[in-house]
Structure 1
Amino acid sequence: MFSTSLADAPVVRAPRHAPVAQLVRGGVIEGVHHGSVVVLGADGAVKHRLGDAEAAFYPRSAVKPLQAVAMLRAGLPLDGELLSLAAASHSGEERHLAGTRRILELAGLAEDDLRNVPDLPFDPAVRDTWVRAGRAPSRLAQNCSGKHAAMLWTAKLNGWSLPDYLDPEHPLQRAIRETVEELTGQRVARVTVDGCGAPLFAISLTGLARALSRVVTAAPGTPEARVADAMRAHAEMASGATRDVAALMRAVPGLLAKDGFEGVQVAALPDGRAVAVKIADGADRARVPVAAAALALAGVDSALLAEFSGAPLLGGGVPVGSVRVVDGLGAA
């Protein structure tokens, strides 16, 4: 069982990462990815770990489900596709842009009210089409725009100021911090600014896994359960049609998963089993197979995870190797 009291903030230190994946080409180890992994059982206890799961780190966009929970607690009236979008790192597809416009419309706001940074769409194919059409970076296309639209609406509903909604001392951001601390079970170690401009809180990898476990095991109808239900039912709205995190949720029944920049992945099963991964160099090619291996350690059928077990390395256009998870991943 999880404790309801808050632990001290995780220690800020150089993380003690360990090798988690190897690039093997022609039978020779060509490169090594370091990182950290933690696997929690349904009872919340650490079942497996590798590297440094207790040092402070920035979860990046993997924290978005917790931000969405905080906004629902503050009165945000979203569910379904639009709630999934509020917790999204979206690909910039037309449905994502239309959904963000809809949230702003429901709030009586406009794109100019957004304070996230302008950017091109995240998905490479969508981005190429966007650029060929001569379109410039925009706040709407940036992958966090759904979250920012939801933040604005939450602030407006509560009578809070809008232009400074990203200030860490804004009532909205204080409410988000309180929710992050409650769900992770630990105090925030540091506060900085994420790429989109929103406050970003340093927690531990174990705290991140614990938080998502609490989200998926919450009682029906609670803000936590509403976020989990929305993201699982509308995985492509929380990511995109071609994204590995959406494919992972489709492959594993009941799984809630969220990725984050710099090699972060968190996932939780309906009974509370949860995993969290941080790849030290931020490489997605290691994030996916390491997360799949962690889920296997959590008890997920390996057959469901086969397509995520390792990307091939090509030579002359044909596979000559692969990214392989290290032996002993998850040693207690």
Structure 2
Amino acid sequence: MSSAVELAQVWRGEVLESVHHGHAVICDSSGGIVEAWGDPDLVMLPRSSCKMIQALPLVESGAGLTDSQLALACASHSGASLHTGMAGAWLEEIGLGEPDLRCGSHMPKDEEAHHRLIRAGAEPCQLHNNCSGKHVGFLMLNQRLKGDADYVEPDHPVQLAVRAAFEEVTGAESPGYGIDGCSAPNFATTLAGLGRAMAFFANAHRASGARAGAAARLVAAMARHPVLVAGEGRACTDLMRAMEGRVAIKTGAEAVYVAILPEAGLGVALKVMDGATRAAECAIAAILIRLGVLSAEHPAVEKYWNAPLVNCRGRRAAWIRPGTGLA
């Protein structure tokens, strides 16, 4: 087993203040490893980075879906009115309501939506949950599978379909699962397995069959609607816009990141071991720059790669930059 490598560093003046270690892998169309940092065999939970895999059974079911709905199904959205309005309308379209969701609620990341709730003295509902789009998709699939209301249970037909798809595209039986923040099971795989799955998505537009067709639709929807996948000011949205639809990327909790590169036919997966999102964002930007699909000169990149950390007076007091493993 290879040890974790430096994926990001924080410098304050001339002093190295923090180091974030982790693992990363790039896989090609054959599922083989093109390049790796650290341990490709690390067993890990993809968290929300695998939402496009979780959406595969829904798309394969033949359900009529717009590109916007596909993007929202893959989203860890900010809970802006754009997101909650679309999730609510989708629920209404399938004859269900907010109480049918099983994701729970939390305050939205979107500042305007957050402040609106506070001013109104209101509590967030489940539509504000960053996973609400995924859960509406689960409900839609559940209608087709005729399962019971508790669609997040690991032995429910919806989650059994998700697990089967997950194991096929990662290329291995999952060794287990954890319960995600939204209550759905999150199946474990190796980092290489997650990279292999992203490479499958990257090459789906060249392949035939229902699963490849579903994967290609999901990738295209994410790339066309980056604001639905995350939200204004978020790394997924900023960097996908900077790459002008050429690449789809997705974050996951505890510093997981994936990238799907259809032109190159490559899949990327990384995990920062201390769970620091700032490090995962820096590392994915560095890998995308390394692969030639993201310009280091793009204004959006400055927030994540060699990014300034600003103090309470607005002064640039520190910087986060790629670690020695990626430099």
Q: What is the TM-score with the length of structure 2 in the denominator?
A: 0.90
Say whether residues 1:237 and 2:223 are aligned partners: no
Give the equivalent residue in structure 2 for 1:190. Answer: 176
CA drift at 1:139: 0.8
Q: CA deviation at 1:304?
A: 5.7
Quickly say closer, same or farther: Cα 1:301–1:219, change in 2 above 3 A.
closer
Instruction: Decide whether aligned partners of structure 1 residues 148 and 28 sit closer, same or farther in structure 2, where only a CA change above 3 A counts.
Output: same
Q: What does residue 113 of structure 1 align with?
A: 100
Q: After superposing the two structures, state which structure 1 stretch, 282-291 or 297-306, moved more.
A: 297-306
Aligned to 2:117: 130
Shift in alpha-carbon separation, 1:141–1:77, aligned structure 2, 3 A = same
SS in 2 for 1:247: helix
Counterpart of 1:310 (choices 301, 306, 309) is 306
The CA deviation at 1:45 is 2.8
Output the aligned Cα RMSD.
2.0
Name the structure 1 match of 2:202: 216
Number of the residue aligned with 1:276? 269
Find the partner of 1:66 among 53, 61, 66. 53
Could you say which residue in structure 2 is the equivalent of 1:321? 318
Letter in 2 for 1:23: V
Indicate the larger mover: 23-32 or 69-78. Answer: 69-78
1:197 alignment partner AA: S
Q: Measure, in 2, the Cα distance between the counterparts of 1:260 and 1:26.
A: 31
- 8 Å Cα contact 1:120-1:142 kept in structure 2: yes
Q: For residues 143-154 of structure 1, what are the structure 2 equivalents within 5 Å?
A: 143-154=130-141
Rounded to whole Å, the distance in 1 between the matches of 2:71 and 2:98 is 19
Q: Secondary structure at the match of 2:227?
A: coil
Structure 1 position 52, deviation (Å) = 2.1
Q: Are the counterparts in 1 of residues 8 and 19 from structure 2 also a CA contact under 8 Å?
A: yes
Q: Aligned-pair distance for 1:76?
A: 2.9
Q: Does residue 1:290 correspond to 2:286, yes or no? A: no
Structure 2 residue runs without a partner (length 5+): 207-211
Per-residue Cα deviation, 1:263-320 (whole angstroms, up to 9, x for no partner)? 1110011132222111112212111111111123333354366433132133553223
TM-score relative to the length of structure 1: 0.89
What is the aligned partner in structure 2 of residue 85 from structure 1?
72
More divergent stretch after superposition (273-282 vs 140-149): 273-282
| Bigger helix share | 2
For 2:48 and 2:325, how far apart are their aligned partners in 1? 28
Runs of 4+ in 1 over 6 A off after TM superposition: none
- The answer on whether the counterparts of 1:24 and 1:31 sit within 8 Å (CA) in structure 2 is yes
d(CA) in 2 for partners of 1:76, 1:122: 30
> Is the 1:251–1:304 Cα contact (8 Å) retained in structure 2?
no
